[in-house]
Amino acid sequence: MTRMKTIKPLVLLCCFLINSALADEAAMLLKSSMADKNFVTLERVERDALQSFCSKPRSEEGDIETANALRESARAAVPMPTEDDFLGDWQRGEAVANNGRGLQYSDNPEQPNGGNCYACHQLDPDEVAYGTLGPSLTGYGARGQSLSMLEYTWIKLWNTHAYNVCSHMPRFGAAGILSEQQLKDVMAYLLDPRSPVNSGLSP
Amino acid sequence: MISWCAGILSSLLLLLAPLWAWAQQDGIFDEYRAMFGDDNPAVFVIDEGEELWFSKAGPNSTSLEGCDLGLGAGVVEGAYAQLPRYFADTDRVQDVESRLEHCMIELQGKTREEIHAKPYSLRGDLGTEMEALVAWLAEQSRGLAIAPGQAHPSERSSYELGEQLFYFRAGPHDFSCATCHGQSGKRIRLQSLPDLTAHEGAAEAYSSWPAYRISQGIVRTMGWRMRDCFRQQRMPELIMGSEAAVALQTYLAVNAAGATMAAPGLKR
Amino acid sequence: MSSRQSAGVRRRAVLQMGSLLALASALPGRLWATVTRPQSAFEATAVEGVFADLGVTPARSDAIIFSVPDIAENGAVVPVKIEVDDEMLPNVSKVYVIVEKNPNPLAAVFAIPEGTQPYVETRVKVAQTCELFAVAEAEGQLYMASKETKVTLGGCGG
Amino acid sequence: MASRIRIRAQLKGDGCEVKALMRHPMETGLRKDQLGETIPARFITAVKVTHNDKIVLDAFWGAAVSANPFLGMRFKGGSVGDVVKVSWLDNQGDTGEGETQIR
């Protein structure tokens, strides 16, 4: 709430309590306004610490200590492949990047989930239907293939909150949206020189 | 007689209506959209809604003509643009769908169960009664300013809850409404995403729902849009007319207030 | 145009007599149209099959003005407009709309009687990015124009 | 049931432009509903446009014409007040008909 800025600390505390009460009320309200559908149940309305922290309206800010703690615990929980085991098959990765289905109550839970990368990112420069919510990843392979680059990319995909605590991007590994193999395939799609993502780069 | 007059009125409105508004103008699909001209199949659904309003239905064999949408019993012109609003008889803030549900139960004697059995079309359907009624009622507010109630404390708390819900991140993907609709100038794949937290984006979106979705061949309502956004957020199914559905629509309507209703629109 | 082509069209006309009778017996009471539905062309599963059914691959003609958007926001509804320049290509009697990669490429046929302008507009489903064809039949000969339309995916994967 | 066809007929140049919207699902028979059951094919197979009872267009359609189909056509002649009729027949034998006057 913008009014917070000009108000004295005591009132500010009071405001904070009101807002947190409002957030709780919103959670209860949402639960009472929804119904289980197919395999999607009301359990999904329950938020973890990170989700609660990142649910604040734009005008409210979270505290830095909590943000750091959340970031660190996200980083600590990322399982790291061995150095020669980061990259899968870029063609399978391309299919994952294009597939927007998975985990909606209208989806078939028997089918593998997609990563829907194109919803938010530009990748293959020849694909015109890409979103702009995230940065362009065209030519991503040019950022290098060092171990630190592999690790950085892996962590971003597994749990992006290890870097940017309230990033909009899903926690593809940590939330179990994609399997380790699917993530390695997406890694290859991003980094393999033969991948169309890197088609504009000289070999 | 009233039905006949309203028929003439709505036909006149249709003749005088400006080009059907597309929700977005973003260049790449301009050629595609221009080829549609001003032919919006929503006209069928609007007609059906008008017929339904004046038809006797339910165990009480009563029409909806006695339904008070906020401007008095039976007043439909301009009512949609002032929803959601607080209603003393239900002591609730209501959107058009929850208010219609109330009238169907109270006036027509229908049950909540039958109204909720299938409020929105499924694939292959041509439309539901709820969709038709909402389309016609929205048409009755075409050209009028969006002016949801904010005088009553319940209306203001509905807005505040709506804002909280808009930013509520949950589910396996950590999505909230704000994930896609909290910034301007962004798009998902090729679809422009209005920033619903700002007046301009909220106005563009709110004024054009309900809309005929050409991808589905169905007129969809704002209530359905809320439900479907939650589906895409990987959340459970939002109940039509529920408090959360109303609060989110209050949030959007208030952000859009002052803009001109241009629904039913035509959308992807 | 080769004579083989018009022979092909005549052959179709004979075959159509058969389907006319079939259609007539299938319809309740009355004959619904003065011309017949080219049922086997509608059942063809490839563009080549549609052309084979019409008797020949049509020659390209600038007289056909075929409007299709370069990029379609939704493949379920793609507007198409076909107009034939009457002076360049007079006496058009039929217009066909064909969508290359649909399960059944032939989408629509319009029979244009005398006094009707060679102008039609409709909206068709296009399953995936592909070529669309507009074919005009005039005095037993077939002509065509084509244009690609790109079908894009929706925001949430369809 | 409200009219299942919307027609506009307007003089344009030396002829008349007809635009019609039909209320029809145009099911291909290839889609599945939310329970995974195939939705049976149901589509308009023939459309006829008449001007003062003279046929000015015969159309044959497949399931690839979009839902709630649109048809635009032009014929020569026509005067204000003339009757333009559009009718359709679908693969299940259902029919629809609507008419308007040229304006």
Interface check for C115 against chain A (CB to CB < 8 A): the answer is no
Nearest-angstrom CA–CA distance, A135 and B31: 28
Q: How far apart are CA A122 and CA A130, in angstroms?
A: 5
- H helix intervals, C27-142: 39-43, 47-54
- Residue C150 and residue A128: Cβ atoms within 8 Å? yes
**Domains observed in chain B:** 2-267 (1.10.760.10)
> Who's near C158: CB < 8 A, 6+ residues apart?
A100, A101
Q: What is the mean pLDDT of residues A101-106?
A: 94
Chain D contact for C136 (CB, 8 A cutoff): no
Domain layout of chain D by residue ranges: 5-101
Q: Considering only CB atoms, which chain C residues are within 8 Å of B217?
A: 76-77
C34 and D89 within 8 Å at the Cβ level: the answer is no
Residue D15 Cα, gap to closest chain C Cα (Å): 9
Q: Are D84 and D11 in contact (CB under 8 A)?
A: no
Read off the pLDDT of each residue in A9-27 and give the average, rounded to a whole number. 63
Q: What is the DSSP string of chain B?
A: -HHHHHHHHHHHHHHH--SPPBS---STTHHHHHTTTT--THHHHHHHHHHHHHS-BTTTTB-STT-BSSSSBT--TTTGGG-SEEETTTTEEE-HHHHHHHHHHHTT---HHHHHHSSSPPTT----HHHHHHHHHHHTTTTSBP----SSHHHHHHHHHHHHHHT--BTTTTB-HHHHHSSSSEEETTEEE--TTSHHHHHHHHTT-SEEETTTTEEE-HHHHHHHHHHHTT--EEPTT-HHHHHHHHHHHHHHTTSBP--SEEE-
Does residue D82 have a pLDDT over 80? Answer: yes
Q: Looking at the DSSP assignment, which residues form a beta bridge with residue C80?
A: C122
Buried/exposed B117-146: b ≥16 CB within 10 Å, e otherwise: eebbbeebbbbbbbbbbbbbbbbbbbeeeb
Q: Which of residues 90-109 of A touch B (CB under 8 A)?
A: 103-106
**Domain locations along chain A:** 2-71, 83-198
Which residues, other chains included, contact A117 with Cβ-Cβ below 8 Å and sequence gap of 6+?
A: A96, A97, A98, A123, A137, A186
By the 8 A CB rule, do B196 and B205 touch? Answer: yes
Tokens of B20: 């059907």
Residue B224's pLDDT is 97
Chain C residues in contact with B33 by the CB 8 A cut-off are 73
Write the secondary structure of A175-195 as one string of H (helix), E (strand) and C (coil): CCCCCHHHHHHHHHHHHCCCC
Side chain identity at B95, as an amino acid letter? D
**Which residue among D55, D64, D67 sits closest to C99, beta carbon to beta carbon?**
D64
Q: Do B28 and C71 touch (CB under 8 A)?
A: yes
Q: Per-domain residue ranges for chain C?
A: 3-151
Q: Which residues of chain B have pLDDT under 50?
A: 1-25
Matching residue, tokens 């949402």? A30
Token duo for residue C19: 């389907």
Instruction: Please name every residue paired with D46 in a beta bridge, in sequence order, or none if there are none.
Output: D60, D89
Does residue B128 contact residue B101 with C-beta atoms inside 8 Å?
Answer: no
Backbone angles phi, psi at D37, to 5 degrees: -85, 140
What does the mean pLDDT of chain A come to?
A: 89
pLDDT at B159: 97
Strand arrangement of the beta sheet that strand B218-220 belongs to: B218-220, B211-213, B265-267
Instruction: Please give the Cα distance from C32 to C35 (Å, whole number).
Output: 9
**pLDDT of res. B29:** 80
| B265-267 and B237-238 strand pairing | unpaired
Mean pLDDT of C68-81: 91
Residue B214, judged by CB atoms within 10 A of its CB (0-12, 13-18, 19+), counts as buried
Q: Where are the alpha helices (DSSP H) in C2-150?
A: 3-26, 39-43, 47-54
Q: How many Cβ pairs within 8 Å bridge chains A and C?
A: 24
Give tens-digit pLDDT for C39-58: 999 999 999 999 999 999 99
Establish if B214 touches chain C: CB-CB under 8 angstroms: yes
Closest CA to D16 of D85, D80, D71, D78: D78
What residue of C is the nearest CA neighbor of B36? C79
- Nearest residue of chain B to residue D28 (CA atoms): B124
The values of phi and psi at residue B257, to 5°, are: -50, 140
Instruction: Answer whether CATH 2.60.40.10 is correct for domain D5-101.
Output: yes
Residue C116 corresponds to which amino acid?
T
Q: Is B229 a catalytic residue?
A: yes
Q: What's the CA angle centered on B79, arms B73 and B81, to 5 degrees? A: 170
Q: Is C156 on the interface with A (CB under 8 A)?
A: yes
Report the predicted TM-score, pTM, of the whole model to 2 decimal places.
Answer: 0.84
Residue A53: enclosing H or E segment and its boundaries?
helix A49-53
Q: Is the dihedral angle over the CA atoms B122, A33, B208, B143 positive or is it negative?
A: positive
Selected residues 36-75 of chain C with any CB under 8 Å from a CB in chain B: 67, 69-74
Look up the ipTM and state it.
0.79
* Cα distance between residue C124 and residue B213, in whole Å: 15
User: Count of CB atoms within 10 A of residue A47's CB?
Assistant: 18
Is pLDDT at C28 greater than 90 in this prediction?
A: no
Residue C35: pLDDT band by 50, 70, 90 thresholds? confident
Show contacts of C43-51: CB within 8 Å, 24+ apart: C43/C104, C44/C104, C44/C105, C44/C106, C45/C103, C45/C104, C45/C105, C46/C105, C47/C98, C47/C100, C47/C105, C47/C131, C47/C133, C49/C105, C50/C96, C50/C98, C50/C105, C50/C106
For the segment C82-138, what is each residue's pLDDT rounded down to a tens digit?
999 999 999 999 999 999 999 999 999 999 999 999 999 999 999 999 999 999 999
Tell how strand D5-12 and strand B218-220 pair up.
Answer: unpaired
Mean predicted lDDT score pLDDT of chain C: 81
For residue C67, list its beta bridge partners: C81
Contact A131, A123 (CB under 8 A): no
Q: What is the chain A residue with the closest CA to C72? A: A129
The A residues from 160 to 189 touching C (CB cutoff 8 Å) are: none
Average pLDDT over residues D70-97: 95
pLDDT at residue B107, rounded to an integer: 98
Tell if the CB–CB gap between A128 and C156 is shorter than 8 Å: no
- CB atoms inside a 10 Å sphere around CB A116: 25
pLDDT for the residue numbered A21: 80
State the pLDDT confidence band at A60, using cuts at 50, 70 and 90: confident
- Nearest-Cα distance to chain B for D23, in Å, is 7
Of D56, D69, D93, the CB nearest to C116: D56
Q: Which helix (H) or strand (E) holds A20?
A: helix A9-32
For domain A83-198, the question of CATH label 3.40.1160.10 is answered with no
Look at residues B154, B141, B3 and name the one whose alpha carbon lies nearest to residue B64. Answer: B3
Q: Name subunits touching D (3+ CB pairs < 8 A).
A: B, C
Question: Taking a contact as any Cβ pair under 8 Å apart, which residues of chain C between 59 and 118 contact chain D?
Answer: 76-79, 81, 99, 102-104, 106-113, 115-117
Which residue did the predictor score with more confidence, B95 or C27? B95
Q: What is the pLDDT of residue C29?
A: 33
pLDDT tens for D28-80 read 998 887 677 888 999 999 999 999 999 999 999 999 999 999 999 999 999 99
Dihedrals phi, psi of C88, to nearest 5 degrees: -70, -35
The answer for residues whose C-beta is within 8 angstroms of residue B153's C-beta and 6 or more apart is none
Q: Is C70 on the interface with A (CB under 8 A)?
A: no
Let me know if domain C3-151 sits in CATH 3.20.20.70.
no
**More reliable by pLDDT, D3 or A105:** A105
State the helix-helix crossing angle for B222-232 and B243-256, rounded to 10 degrees.
110
Q: From CA A140, how far away is CA D27, in angstroms rounded?
A: 43
**Core vs surface per residue A161-191: b (16+ CB within 10 A) or e:** bbeebbbbbbbbbbbebbeeebbbbbbbbbb
